[in-house]
Amino acid sequence: MDKVKVAIIGSGNIGTDLLIKIIRQSDTLSVAAFVGIDPESDGLKRAERMGIKIISSGVDGLINTEEWDDIKIIFDATSAKAHLYNWEKIKTYTEKKIIDLTPAAIGPYIVPPVNLSTLHHENNVNMVTCGGQATIPMVYAVSRVARVKYAEIVASIASKSAGPGTRANIDEFTETTAKAIESIGGAERGKAIIILNPAEPPLVMRDTIFTLSEIVDRQLIINSVNQMVEDVRKYVPGYELHQEIQFEIIDEENPIYIENLGMCHGLKTMIMLKVKGAGHYLPEYAGNLDIMTSAAKITAEMLVNMQ
């Protein structure tokens, strides 16, 4: 079977890492165009050296190129604001699908091992955030065996792995991730926090997930979480539990207050993750960026296989 032609918009860290992943690893996808707005960017120069068609005039230049008609999937690795413009330009081409790696969240959220199979018909799908891709599978792993009243995630990433796009989208990160914790993860109430860690040498991505659920057999949660970790590791090999899962009973006599939920009790579960990058273009500590590009790549490959 011929490879499906794709384009990547955004020549920064995420777009360039995605480019290299597809070239090195994908038996399904072929990059027909790599798009940016700065002809001097390292990403465009690197792509040109690799023999990839480069475009330095953004989405408008992409649409006007001869490769456009053959491109079936477009990855948007720009910013939330830029995606709004790009989508306005692309949405009339209904035969094409766009995978949005920004927090714009125009299309429905996708976390591959959780809900991709239900959204293959959508033309615009959103990859939530790096914190969402890392933590929502864990929230879902708990919620599929116990009703989750509240879930809170804390994503800690190396400051050096947070480029201008990430820093410009901090508010969108927390809002988008919290919404996806509820709509995909299955929590009644979600909250997201991001920490930019300036430690030297830079630390790999660490994520802590807290859930408050109904009380169930703890082994059900342990088994569900371990299975989900293995599901994610199929496309992010550096994804792993950092410590054993921890539990605490919050009893009715000593409930805790949760905003918009009031006084709550139940089973508190704490899951701690470490996400190490593959080191294709980005350093290994940038697991936050690696999990986004890995999730986007597997999403495109799965969408192709569902056609």
Lookup result for tokens 């410009």: 168
| pLDDT of amino acid 123 | 94
pLDDT tens per residue, the chain (307 residues)? 699 999 999 999 899 999 999 999 999 999 999 999 999 999 999 999 999 999 999 999 999 999 999 999 999 999 888 999 999 999 999 999 999 998 888 999 999 999 998 888 899 999 999 999 999 999 999 999 999 999 999 999 999 998 776 787 788 889 999 999 999 999 999 999 999 999 999 999 999 999 999 999 999 999 999 999 999 999 999 999 999 999 999 999 999 999 989 999 999 999 999 999 999 999 999 999 999 999 999 999 999 998 7
Residues 22 and 67 in one domain: yes
CATH number reported for the structural domain that contains residue 259 in this entry: 3.30.360.10
Residues 188 and 53 in one domain: no
204 and 277 Cβ atoms separated by less than 8 Å: yes
**How far is the CA of 259 from the CAs of 5, 151, 263, in angstroms?**
47, 12, 9
Provide the number of structural domains found in the chain.
Answer: 2
Residues 46 and 82 in one domain: yes
Q: How many CA atoms lie within 13 A of 151 on its CB side?
A: 31
Q: How far apart are CA 173 and CA 183, in angstroms?
A: 15
Q: How far apart are CA 193 and CA 238, in angstroms?
A: 22
- Given the residues 20, 101, 114, 130, select the one marked as catalytic: 130
| pLDDT of amino acid 80 | 86
| pLDDT of amino acid 230 | 98
Q: Residue 285 class from Cβ within 10 Å (0-12 exposed, 13-18 middle, 19+ buried)? A: buried
Residues 113 and 138 in one domain: no
CATH number reported for the structural domain that contains residue 57 in this entry: 3.40.50.720
Our answer to whether residue 130 is catalytic in this structure is yes
Residues 124 and 145 in one domain: no
Residues 135 and 244 in one domain: yes
Residues 254 and 282 in one domain: yes
| pLDDT of amino acid 88 | 97
Residues 22 and 99 in one domain: yes
**Domain interval for residue 41:** 4-128+289-306
Residues 155 and 272 in one domain: yes
Residues 198 and 296 in one domain: no
Q: How far apart are CA 256 and CA 265, in angstroms?
A: 7
| pLDDT of amino acid 128 | 94
Residues 135 and 268 in one domain: yes
Residues 173 and 281 in one domain: yes
User: 87-124 burial by CB neighbour count: b if 16+ within 10 A, else e?
Assistant: beebeeeeebbbbbbbbbbbbebbbbbbbbeebbeeeb
Does the model's pTM come out above 0.85? yes
1 and 277 Cβ atoms separated by less than 8 Å: no
| pLDDT of amino acid 119 | 85
